[in-house]
């Protein structure tokens, strides 16, 4: 049983004007599909081929060294992009509501305080990587930045929301203007999905 790259849950141009069609085509069809293929190639014939991607990433540090780098990079890339497409929506934006909205306000002072903290981390991340809203085992929210395709699961946190800060995610439209991409991202967040992840 091997991993597949899920289809996008919306059309390639559905996130315009914030993320353009060409970026989505290359990002999903080339980058995401490439991570999935490399993950499958690495696991083929190994004892770990039947495991879920979540279990592989949670247990990354106990994998055999021959598999660890491939699972970290390609498996991380596979999982991170699966989540990324899900937490975006053409009908996204607005503010988090309900229990997640309350938790963000209590953790960051207010919803706007969360936006500012998240934006600052994302603007400040050096090189390629991700910035995440995560929860720990007690449900406490915090922000985490990871390099490359690393994922909070490996450190015992559960990712609820993440922004892809590799240049392939925004360079065609925004070039070096990463802050504008981050601002656009907030117009696309599927808070209903993020709220479901928070409560699950
Ligand atoms: Mn990407």
The per-residue pLDDT for 86 is 98
Mean pLDDT of the chain: 97
The per-residue pLDDT for 103 is 98
32 alpha carbon – ligand 1 mean position (Å) = 7
CA–CA distances in Å: residue 87 to residues 42, 81, 127, 163, 192: 28, 10, 23, 9, 9
pLDDT of residue 1 exceeding 70: no
The domain limits of the chain are 21-86, 98-199
CB 164 within 8 A of CB 84: yes
Angle between helices 76-86 and 33-43 (to 10 degrees): 140
Q: What topology is assigned to 21-86 in CATH?
A: Helix Hairpins (1.10.287)
The per-residue pLDDT for 170 is 98
Q: What is the mean pLDDT of residues 159-168?
A: 98
pLDDT in tens, 128-158: 999 999 999 999 999 999 999 999 999 999 9
pLDDT in tens, 57-81: 999 999 999 999 999 999 999 999 9
For domain 98-199, give the CATH superfamily. Answer: Iron/manganese superoxide dismutase, C-terminal domain (3.55.40.20)
Diameter of the chain measured on Cα atoms: 50
* CA–CA separation, 128 and 164 (whole Å): 8
59 alpha carbon – ligand 1 mean position (Å) = 23
CA–CA distances in Å: residue 160 to residues 47, 62, 116, 171: 29, 24, 17, 24
31 alpha carbon – ligand 1 mean position (Å) = 6
Per DSSP, 189 falls in state B
């Amino acid at each position: 049983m091997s991993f597949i790259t899920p289809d996008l849950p919306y059309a390639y141009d559905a996130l315009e004007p914030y993320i353009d069609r060409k970026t989505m085509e290359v990002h999903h069809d080339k980058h995401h599909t490439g991570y999935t293929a490399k993950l499958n190639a690495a696991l083929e014939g190994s004892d770990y081929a039947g495991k879920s991607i979540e279990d592989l990433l949670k247990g990354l540090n106990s994998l055999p060294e021959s598999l660890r780098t491939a699972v970290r990079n390609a498996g991380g890339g596979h999982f991170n992009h699966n989540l990324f497409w899900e937490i975006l929506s053409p009908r996204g934006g607005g503010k988090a509501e309900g229990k997640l909205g309350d938790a963000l306000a209590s953790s960051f002072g207010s919803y706007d305080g969360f936006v500012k903290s998240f934006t600052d981390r994302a603007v400040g991340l050096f090189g390629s990587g991700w910035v995440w809203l995560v929860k720990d085992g007690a449900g406490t929210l915090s922000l985490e930045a990871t390099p490359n395709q690393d994922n909070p699961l490996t450190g015992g946190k559960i990712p609820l929301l993440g922004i892809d800060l590799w240049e392939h995610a925004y360079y065609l439209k925004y070039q070096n203007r990463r802050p504008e991409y981050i601002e656009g991202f907030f117009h696309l967040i599927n808070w209903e999905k993020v709220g479901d992840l928070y409560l699950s």
